[in-house]
């Protein structure tokens, strides 16, 4: 089991929504001198996407070595083709992750940018407009999408650079011998003793070295929680272990608040609602965020441990996709993130147990049916790990 490796002396800044994230990202790209790695699930060809693309092209024109990796499913086939054409014409190296599911079901869901090995960004924000839904409908949102990213400078950037460079290399054509060498190197890295100290750490989930890393980090944090736990996710459909961890924390007297996005996918909402009675009955407080699209994947526990990243609380993020979170152990950072979460809670709608008990029989049956279908699919996709 791979330990979480923390580092000191990192400088972190929380970025809320695209109006804070994208100006900081474009400024950093325009300040790049030697190298840029950008990974994203969605790279839309909207106004925001064109601003970021133009900044990347300006960097390439200055001689910066630019690498862009997008997910084929998230970005879309047509947008991927157009991006490849425009970026490669500008001298940018471009790759598409797992086109046509040729390497299985896993998607590149993480969002990471590393610039000159000195500055990095990580979080939940894709490269797309904050006021347009990120699904196939592309509807206008009533308010900017509710999401977070984090900018990072310091020793942790080295870990992020190593991770993005490694994934980029694996997208390139490689012979069998080279692939076997990469596998040996990755497993050797896994076995090295890691120093566990305070401050900040990169935690990733993939299907080779780190299958359970992000879920394990949440389980450990909840297992050691004493006072309060604030958790935010747009899609709530975790396996049994994580649901039990939330319930056990509440039963121990921890104040557990779960802020969930609703209204985007009917089936996803039904799966989440199938858990409501059990969670509410042990004291977990559930808030539905309906003001706009909630896309944040963040948490604060005991006003010390916090995380910002790309991992949802669902089967795809915890058992299938490539994800990346930053874990921070710092009271001031936790306070800032907690205050932002509390604001979201105030904007949300509490779910009341008595009202849940009054759901019609048809709604209860549909919620249960949705969960059973979801569970059956992810038992197959995750080789049985989803319900453990």
d(CA 229, CA 257): 6
Convert the pLDDT of each residue in 183-211 to its tens digit: 455 444 443 333 333 489 999 999 887 88
Does residue 116 have an active-site annotation?
A: yes
- Residue by residue, what is the 3-state secondary structure of the chain? CCCCCCECCCEEEEEECHHHHHHHHHHHHHCCCCEEEEEECCECCCHHHHHHHHHHHHHHHCCCEEEEEEEHHHHCHHHHHHHHHHHHHCCCEEEEECHHHCCCCCCECCEEEEECCCEEEEECCCECCCCECCCCCCCECCCCCECEEEEEECCHHHHHHHHHHHHHHHHCCCCHHHHHHHHHHHHHHHHCCCCCCCCEEEEEECCCCCCCHHHHHHHHHHHCCCCEEEEEECCECCCHHHHHHHHHHHHCCCEEEEEEECCCCHHHHHHHHHHHHHHHHCCCEEEEECCCCECCCEEEECCCEEEEECCCECHHHHHCCEEEEEEEECHHHHHHHHHHHHHHHHHCEECCHHHHCCCCHHHHHHHHHHHHHHHHHHHHHCCCCCCC
Q: Which of 67, 161, 297, 375 is catalytic?
A: 297
Q: Which of 16, 109, 161, 375 is catalytic?
A: 109
User: What pLDDT does residue 208 have?
Assistant: 81
Q: Which of 86, 158, 302, 330 is catalytic?
A: 302
Q: Tell me which fold the domain 203-381 belongs to.
A: Endonuclease; Chain A (3.30.870)
Q: Which of 53, 161, 295, 322 is catalytic?
A: 295
Does residue 295 have an active-site annotation?
A: yes
Q: Which of 46, 51, 86, 116 is catalytic?
A: 116
User: What pLDDT does residue 136 have?
Assistant: 84
Cα dihedral angle (273, 347, 219, 196), rounded to 10 degrees? 160
Q: Which of 67, 111, 322, 375 is catalytic?
A: 111
Domain locations in the chain as residue ranges:
11-171, 203-381
Does residue 111 have an active-site annotation?
A: yes
pLDDT under 70: residue ranges of the chain: 1-3, 174-198
User: What pLDDT does residue 195 have?
Assistant: 30
CATH topology match: 11-171 vs 203-381:
yes
User: What pLDDT does residue 383 have?
Assistant: 82
Does residue 357 have an active-site annotation?
A: no
- Backbone φ and ψ for 251, nearest 5 degrees, come out as -65, -25
Does residue 109 have an active-site annotation?
A: yes
Q: Which residues contact 246 (CB under 8 A, 6 or more apart)?
A: 222, 229, 231, 256, 258, 279, 284
User: What pLDDT does residue 112 have?
Assistant: 98
Tell me the chain's radius of gyration from C-alpha atoms. Answer: 20
Convert the pLDDT of each residue in 360-374 to its tens digit: 999 999 999 999 999
Superfamily covering domain 11-171: Endonuclease Chain A (3.30.870.10)
CA distances (Å), origin 282, targets 159, 172, 277, 353: 39, 50, 9, 10
pTM: 0.92
Does residue 346 have an active-site annotation?
A: no
């Amino acid at each position: 089991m791979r330990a979480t490796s923390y580092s000191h002396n990192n400088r972190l800044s929380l970025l809320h929504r695209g109006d804070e994230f994208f100006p900081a990202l474009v400024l950093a790209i325009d300040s790049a001198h030697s190298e840029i790695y950008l990974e994203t699930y969605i790279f839309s060809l909207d106004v925001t996407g064109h601003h970021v693309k133009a900044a990347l092209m300006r960097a390439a024109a200055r001689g910066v070595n630019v690498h862009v990796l997008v997910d084929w499913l998230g970005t879309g086939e047509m947008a991927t083709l157009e991006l490849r054409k425009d970026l490669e014409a500008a001298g940018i190296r471009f790759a598409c992750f797992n086109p046509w599911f040729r390497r299985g079901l896993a998607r590149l869901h993480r969002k990471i940018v590393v610039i000159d090995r000195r500055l990095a960004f990580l979080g939940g924000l894709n490269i797309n407009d904050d006021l347009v839904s990120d699904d196939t409908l592309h509807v206008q949102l009533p308010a900017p999408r509710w999401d977070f990213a984090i900018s990072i400078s310091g020793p942790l950037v080295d870990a992020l650079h190593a991770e993005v460079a490694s994934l980029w290399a694996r997208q390139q054509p490689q012979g069998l011998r080279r692939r076997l060498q990469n596998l040996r190197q990755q497993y050797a890295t896994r076995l090295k003793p890691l120093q566990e100290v305070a401050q900040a750490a990169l935690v990733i989930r993939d299907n080779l070295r780190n299958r359970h890393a992000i879920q394990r980090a949440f389980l450990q944090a909840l297992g050691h929680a004493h006072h309060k736990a604030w958790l935010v996710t747009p899609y709530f459909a975790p396996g049994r272990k994580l649901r039990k961890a939330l319930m056990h924390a509440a039963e121990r007297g921890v104040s557990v608040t779960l802020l969930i996005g609703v209204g985007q996918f009917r089936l996803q909402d039904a799966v989440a609602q199938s858990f409501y009675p059990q969670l509410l009955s042990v004291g977990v407080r559930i808030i539905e965020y309906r003001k706009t699209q909630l896309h944040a994947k963040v948490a604060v526990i005991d006003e010390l441990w916090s995380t910002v990243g790309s991992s949802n609380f669902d089967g795809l993020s915890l058992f299938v996709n490539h994800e990346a979170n930053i874990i921070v152990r710092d009271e001031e950072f936790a306070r800032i993130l907690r205050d932002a979460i509390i604001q979201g809670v105030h904007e949300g709608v509490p779910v009341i147990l008595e009202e849940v008990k009054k759901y019609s029989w048809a709604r209860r049956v549909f919620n249960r049916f949705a969960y059973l279908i979801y569970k059956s699919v992810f038992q197959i996709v995750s080789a049985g790990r989803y319900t453990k």
